[in-house]
């Protein structure tokens, strides 16, 4: 994509500057785009690395967390007995110089499921915990590919178990509603209703404080109708939690 100073980086820079400590990014990408955005903002980003043992608490702390569920091009896969850590951070050009078996990415193929189960299992635990605790979840360019049944089952189950009285769900898959987005919305509606959560397109913000009393749980599901770069450029963080008065449902 060229240097971060290029104009095409503007939407991503705007989005990155808007992120707040405690928020979590869950990604299936192997690239280093987010790390490059954070390179001049020391301390704001924490990349969660795979570990053999998963800490009992899943606390975002005072930074933005990045959870890369399928690994990263700058992670070196360690021999199983070498360290309690499953992977170790390397230089940005590691993917070019490493041996094939050292690259810690769950690429499509026969080894993908094994990598997710063995090497990246702790990352999935962290991601599921983040989804259960979230107040807003935004799907940017991700649609649950039909071949990723394991990801679909686990992430939808975590959303279904979400603990927030009001959950705002947003999808960002382009300027028109195609089959991919209709399918994603149907999947999310099933997940949201697991514990009897009700859909709404009209709820006053003053009512949210008392929500959850008596077991009432609501959700909104909004199609942004934007390309990813558009959404990242114009979306305001505070708007993500606000119920929309007009919904495409």
pLDDT in tens, 197-221: 998 876 555 555 555 555 678 999 9
Residues 178 and 201 in one domain: yes
Last residue of a domain, one of 115, 133, 151: 133
The string of pLDDT tens digits covering residues 185-194 is 999 999 999 9
Q: How many folded domains does the chain comprise?
A: 2
Q: What pLDDT is recorded for position 245? A: 42
Task: Answer whether 19's CB lies under 8 Å from 37's CB.
Answer: no
Residues 69 and 21 in one domain: yes
Residues 88 and 152 in one domain: no
Q: Which domain holds residue 9?
A: 1-133
Residues 115 and 172 in one domain: no
Q: Which of 51-55, 82-86, 153-157 has the largest mean confidence? A: 153-157
Residues 119 and 182 in one domain: no
- Alpha-carbon span 86 to 94, nearest angstrom: 16
Model pTM score: 0.88
Last residue of a domain, one of 133, 154, 187: 133
Residues 123 and 158 in one domain: no
Residues 139 and 187 in one domain: yes
Residues 173 and 215 in one domain: yes
- Whether 160 has a pLDDT exceeding 90, the answer reads yes
Residues 176 and 83 in one domain: no
Residues 153 and 70 in one domain: no
| DSSP character at residue 220 | E
Residues 124 and 155 in one domain: no
Torsion from C-alpha of 158, 159, 161, 164, nearest 10 degrees: 130
Q: What pLDDT is recorded for position 29? A: 95
Residues 119 and 188 in one domain: no
- Alpha-carbon span 48 to 155, nearest angstrom: 18
Task: Answer whether 16's CB lies under 8 Å from 66's CB.
Answer: no
Q: What pLDDT is recorded for position 127? A: 96
Last residue of a domain, one of 100, 115, 133: 133
């Amino acid at each position: 994509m060229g240097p971060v100073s290029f104009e095409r980086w503007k939407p991503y820079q705007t989005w990155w500057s808007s992120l707040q400590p405690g928020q979590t990014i869950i990604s299936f990408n192997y690239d280093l785009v987010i790390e490059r955005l954070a390179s001049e903002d020391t301390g704001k980003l924490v990349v969660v690395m795979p570990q053999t043992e998963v800490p009992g608490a899943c606390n975002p702390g005072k930074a933005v967390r990045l959870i890369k569920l399928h690994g990263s091009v700058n992670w070196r896969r360690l021999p199983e007995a070498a360290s309690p850590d499953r992977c170790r951070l390397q230089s940005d050009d590691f993917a070019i110089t490493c041996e094939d078996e050292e690259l810690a990415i769950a690429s499509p193929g026969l080894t993908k499921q094994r990598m997710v189960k063995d090497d990246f299992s702790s990352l999935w635990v962290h991601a599921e915990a983040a989804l259960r605790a979230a107040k807003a979840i935004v799907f940017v360019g991700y649609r649950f590919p039909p071949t990723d049944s394991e990801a679909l089952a686990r992430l939808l189950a975590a959303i279904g178990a979400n603990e927030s009285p009001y959950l705002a769900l947003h999808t960002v898959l382009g300027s028109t509603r195609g089959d991919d987005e209709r399918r994603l919305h149907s999947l999310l509606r099933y997940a949201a209703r697991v514990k009897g959560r009700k859909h709404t397109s009209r709820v006053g913000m003053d009512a949210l404080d008392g929500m959850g009393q008596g077991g009432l749980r609501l959700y909104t599901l909004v199609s942004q109708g934007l390309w990813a770069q558009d959404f990242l450029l114009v979306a305001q963080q505070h708007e993500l939690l606000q119920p929309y008065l007009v919904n495409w449902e």
